[in-house]
Amino acid sequence: MKTNSKKFTLRYKKIHYSINNPNLLGNHQIENASLAVAAILRLNELGYNFSNRIINQGIFKTKWAGRLEKGQLNNIPVYLDGAHNPGGAIQLLKFFQKQKNKCWLIFGMLNNKDLLSYLKIIKPITLGVIAIKIKGEKNSFTPQQISMNCSKLNIACFEKKSIKDANNFLTTKVMPKNILICGSLYLVGKIRYLYL
């Protein structure tokens, strides 16, 4: 697979296909799109008829809520990503390192996830963490538990009771260049409307 800023080339059974890059942030989305295209090409072999034009339109028009979705808060770029495991944290790390950006995190996570490993991975792009409990999720880590894990890694962490408090703290006290909301699809799903 080869890529440029507008297209990627996929080789499938010795044939090269030029495909529009997905309109989603992150290089891993090209990998995801490649898998989707390969599946479609296999369906074509089984008798379906998806033209290259339809495939390209589908890949380019794909939207995925809560996956490096970009919004804003008082003109501050906000990235929303429901990544909740080490693999997702690695993709966030790669994306922000490529952009040469660091972020303040608004962070909540369910307590059946590996919080410490996630934070270790994402630490190089983290300027600080605003820890919140995911509203309505009894199995969410508490802000205190998140803060305790941040302390183990020497990550600055501030505990807030709500997303409103987190937003207020960031916009009045920190004024960051970037905000990343992550740790849970539940968290992102419940608050994304505030930023889009």
DSSP assignment string, 83-118: --SHHHHHHHHHHHHHHT--EEEEE--BTTS-HHHH
- Lowest mean pLDDT segment, chosen from 23-32, 33-42, 144-153: 23-32
Is 81 exposed, middle or buried, given 0-12, 13-18 or 19+ CB atoms closer than 10 A?
buried
The reported pLDDT for the residue numbered 3 is: 60
Give 67 or 145, the one with higher predicted confidence.
145
CA distance 96 to 49: 38
Q: Looking at residues 111-137, what average pLDDT do you find? A: 98
Radius of gyration from C-alpha coordinates of the chain: 19
Identify the pLDDT of residue 67: 83
pLDDT band at 7 (very low <50, low <70, confident <90, very high): confident
Q: Which of 163, 119, 100 is nearest to 137 (CA)?
A: 163
pLDDT computed for residue 183 by the predictor? 97
Lowest-confidence pick of 12-16, 177-181, 183-187 = 12-16
Q: Report whether 103 contacts 178 (CB < 8 A).
A: yes
- Least confident range from 35-44, 81-90, 96-105: namely 35-44
Q: What is the per-residue pLDDT for 59?
A: 86
How far lies 146's CA from each of 27, 141, 161, in Å? Answer: 29, 7, 13
| Cα–Cα distance measured from residue 15 to residue 108, given in angstroms and rounded to the nearest whole number | 45
Architecture of the domain spanning 69-194: Alpha-Beta Complex (3.90)
Beta strand segments in the chain, E: 2-3, 7-12, 15-20, 69-73, 76-80, 103-107, 126-131, 157-159, 179-182
Of 1-15, 44-58, 59-73, 165-179, the range with the highest mean pLDDT is 165-179
Percent of the chain with pLDDT over 90: 72
pLDDT value at residue 28: 74
User: What pTM value is reported for the model?
Assistant: 0.83
* Cβ-Cβ contacts under 8 Å for 26 (sequence gap 6 or more): 67, 68, 91, 94, 95
| Phi, psi dihedral angles at 84 (to 5 degrees) | -135, 10
Domains of the chain, by residue range, sit at: 2-61, 69-194
The residue that leads in pLDDT, 76 or 14, is 76
pLDDT tens readout for residues 33-78? 888 888 999 999 999 999 999 998 988 888 877 888 999 999 999 9
The average pLDDT across 108-135 equals: 98
pLDDT at 37: 86
